[in-house]
Chains A and B, each alone.
Chain A
Amino acid sequence: MTRRTRITLKVVVWAGCLAPLLLLGYRAWTDDLGANPISFVTNTLGDWTLRILLASLAMTPLRIVFGLSWPITLRRLLGLFAFAYVCLHFSVWIVLDFFFDWPRMWADIVKRPYITLGMLALLSLTPLAATSTTGMIRRLGARTWTRLHRLVYIAGACAVLHYLWLAKVGVTDPYWYAGALLVLLGIRAGDWSRRAIRRRTAAVAASATSARLIDRKRFSP
């Protein structure tokens, strides 16, 4: 991939991820957030967190299924945008929705499972954002870093459950997100098991070959 394509791709992702925020700003400016602006802003930010998080989780499957390598270069950017959106989503909840009513918010976090799950999703994304730099990868070592970043699966699952649990009867959107997450994780699981099988076959083949060699040695005149 040329440097130019890489830059173009990044610009597209930046624009795509910033557009919902700019639109929200524009609607706030023109007093077009509807009858319940706080709820509208919270929901919009939550929706986009999930969409961008799922997009970041779609990059590896794109490589697995289509053999493309460029999606991997966008993974960090998408992940960081998902983190930015969830931070905004959380801040709106604290500032606009409950206006720093800490006891009330704490009560909701421990008592309402959907809020607990939302908090878990946010907490599991935080170390990933903190260790997203190349320097941190080097410091942690690729192996530890990769292990740590598997937390994103927990975050994705918690985020989807958070939405499933809070949505009222009849709302179907969360099921689509849950379906998308299952497909994305399913592709990974399929890839892992395929590689595991290949490794095992290779190991069996290798041991068979060495056994034959030994046999040959033993029975050679």
Chain B
Amino acid sequence: MLIRRAPRFTAREITDPELYLSRRELMAGAAALALMPGAGEAAAPKSEPLAAKHNPAFSLSEPATKIDHATTYNNFYEFGVNKDDPSRLAHTLKPRPWSVQVDGHVHKPKTFDVDELIKLFPLEERVYSLRCVEAWSMVIPWIGFPLASLLKRVEPTRQAKFVEFTALLDPNQFPAQKPGFFGFSSLDWPYVEGLRLDEALHPLTLLAVGMYGQVLPNQNGAPVRVVIPWKYGFKSAKSIVRIRLVAEQPKTAWEKAAPQEYGFYSNVNPAVSHPRWSQADERRIGEFRRRPTLPFNGYADQVASLYSGMDLKKFY
């Protein structure tokens, strides 16, 4: 039987490309203005335009979340637990020079400079939905390249079964990595995330170096982060310094902090509640009413096959 999936968006919701482009021109203009000395000082984030070819095959047709919201409402625990901590403290992070070590079970381990990465792989723009485990979501035009391109270049060996991402550990650049009162720390640093190798090689998995036509702002994970749109946002590790191919499932930062709340897979799943709140719906930033959450954040037709035969209530 042929089951036709209903379109995810009604025609009404699709933004006219002309409008979208003019919006981007406006943003490019705003970016240029921000670059001008003295223009819109403290408030405007330092932004550098970054050219990339729009990839419509991997893009939602929904309007992007306002850039002001995407750059001021962030979960980035290295800066603090509050949503405004990352944008407030972002200046402490120095995203250049920056190198990313790619090693583990690979034939050709290599440490890449981030600018070298940007030159090696053609950059594309993809508009993805980002669903936070806290039941809110955004639509973000990322700039980057498939993680698979990088992984294929270092040639994983037969033993490689998982990919482990490690973020920068440096309390001088990430203030919240300094222990607080009574030696209290929110997470066990550095931030570690992981994917199964097939998830990492999936064409949707993106290594992002920019967003909204600009170089990635510090508070969004500069200079390089991963984006896995069918998983809760915290899976998408930021400010990555090491990508290691390993044989065993990595122990992730959130699994260590609260294993009953944050599993290794953390696929967006409206049927599996967080122990303390429902994941059945979400608030899209900029919208008033909650909207239903879709299985795999709407990417089920592309990724559900990765998990066929798995009990997703058990492997949450």
| B285 interface contact, C-beta 8 A | yes
A168 to B236, CA, bound (A): 18
A169 with B285: CB separation less than 8 A: no
| B150 interface contact, C-beta 8 A | no
A35 with B77: CB separation less than 8 A: no
Closest 3 CB pairs of A and B: A170-B186, A35-B73, A35-B69
Chain A residues lying within 8 Å of B277, measured Cβ to Cβ, are 108, 112
B278 with A35: CB separation less than 8 A: no
B257 with A169: CB separation less than 8 A: yes
**Contacting B84 at CB < 8 Å: which of A34, A114, A168, A171?**
A34
Chain A residues lying within 8 Å of B72, measured Cβ to Cβ, are 34-35
Chain A residues lying within 8 Å of B288, measured Cβ to Cβ, are 38, 96
| B180 interface contact, C-beta 8 A | yes
A168 with B81: CB separation less than 8 A: yes
User: Which among A39, A98, A107, A165 has the highest number of chain B CB atoms within 10 Å?
Assistant: A39
A104 to B65, CA, bound (A): 27
| B283 interface contact, C-beta 8 A | yes
Smallest CB separation, A131 vs chain B (Å):
34
Chain A residues lying within 8 Å of B278, measured Cβ to Cβ, are 104, 107-108, 112
A112 to B286, CA, bound (A): 26
Smallest CB separation, B88 vs chain A (Å):
12
Residues on B facing A (Cβ under 8 Å):
65-66, 68-70, 72-73, 77, 81, 83-84, 134, 136, 180-181, 184-187, 254, 257-258, 261, 276-278, 283, 285-286, 288-290
Smallest CB separation, B111 vs chain A (Å):
31
Closest to B280 in A: A104
Residues on A facing B (Cβ under 8 Å):
34-36, 38-39, 96-99, 104, 107-108, 112-114, 165-166, 168-172
A113 to B275, CA, bound (A): 10
A171 with B81: CB separation less than 8 A: yes
A171 to B83, CA, bound (A): 11
B257 with A36: CB separation less than 8 A: no
A34 to B136, CA, bound (A): 14
Can you list 20 pairs linking A and B with CB atoms under 8 Å apart?
A34-B72, A34-B73, A34-B84, A35-B69, A35-B70, A35-B73, A35-B83, A35-B285, A97-B290, A99-B290, A112-B278, A114-B276, A166-B276, A168-B134, A169-B254, A169-B257, A170-B185, A171-B186, A172-B180, A172-B181
Chain A residues lying within 8 Å of B181, measured Cβ to Cβ, are 172
Supply 20 further A-B pairs (C-beta < 8 A) apart from A35-B68, A170-B77, A172-B184: A34-B69, A35-B69, A35-B72, A35-B73, A35-B286, A36-B73, A36-B83, A36-B136, A38-B288, A99-B290, A107-B278, A112-B277, A113-B276, A114-B276, A168-B134, A169-B254, A169-B257, A170-B187, A171-B186, A172-B181
Chain B residues lying within 8 Å of A99, measured Cβ to Cβ, are 289-290
B187 with A169: CB separation less than 8 A: yes
A38 with B283: CB separation less than 8 A: yes
Smallest CB separation, A71 vs chain B (Å):
29
Chain A residues lying within 8 Å of B180, measured Cβ to Cβ, are 172
A114 to B276, CA, bound (A): 8
A185 to B81, CA, bound (A): 29
Chain A residues lying within 8 Å of B136, measured Cβ to Cβ, are 36, 39
A39 to B185, CA, bound (A): 25
**Contacting B283 at CB < 8 Å: which of A36, A107, A170?**
A36
Chain A residues lying within 8 Å of B84, measured Cβ to Cβ, are 34
Closest to A176 in B: B181
Smallest CB separation, A208 vs chain B (Å):
49
Closest to B68 in A: A35
Chain A residues lying within 8 Å of B77, measured Cβ to Cβ, are 170
A98 to B283, CA, bound (A): 10
A36 with B276: CB separation less than 8 A: no
A94 to B187, CA, bound (A): 33
Smallest CB separation, B31 vs chain A (Å):
20
Smallest CB separation, B94 vs chain A (Å):
24
User: Which among A35, A39, A99, A165 has the highest number of chain B CB atoms within 10 Å?
Assistant: A35
A35 to B68, CA, bound (A): 8
Closest to B262 in A: A169
Closest to A170 in B: B186
Smallest CB separation, A179 vs chain B (Å):
11
A170 to B257, CA, bound (A): 9
Chain A residues lying within 8 Å of B66, measured Cβ to Cβ, are 35
Closest to A107 in B: B278
**Contacting A36 at CB < 8 Å: which of B68, B187, B254, B285?**
B285
A34 to B88, CA, bound (A): 13
Chain B residues lying within 8 Å of A112, measured Cβ to Cβ, are 276-278
B186 with A169: CB separation less than 8 A: yes
Chain B residues lying within 8 Å of A114, measured Cβ to Cβ, are 276
Closest to B187 in A: A170
A96 to B290, CA, bound (A): 10
Smallest CB separation, B6 vs chain A (Å):
23
